[in-house]
Amino acid sequence: MVHPASEQESNPVLLRFHVQRNIATIPKSVTPARIQENAQIFDFELMDEDLQLLLTLNKNWRVCQLTALRDHQFYPFKDF
């Protein structure tokens, strides 16, 4: 289980969270150290308790809704 006091930084934990949920994730990184850190997500796994805890953070809102594209045939959000 990954606890806040563990050695894992938050970025790799969140990347790992997406990978374990089979969500394609492309992190933005420009520094070599951050790129290496992002590559370490395959060195550990989140336990079920961690996954469930992270899922409770869902607040059902989006940072980027892409409303200018809402009439596009492949627009992913149909809940307006």
Is the pLDDT at 7 greater than 80, yes or no?
A: no
Task: Tell me how far apart the alpha carbons of residues 24 and 21 are, in angstroms, rounded to a whole number.
Answer: 9
Q: Which tokens sit at 20?
A: 């374990």
Q: Which tokens sit at 48?
A: 């079920």
* Nearest residue to 2 (alpha-carbon basis) of 50, 52, 48, 61: 50
Task: Tell me how far apart the alpha carbons of residues 79 and 48 are, in angstroms, rounded to a whole number.
Answer: 29
Is the pLDDT at 80 greater than 90, yes or no?
A: no
The pLDDT of residue 22 is 94
Q: What is the pTM of this model?
A: 0.67
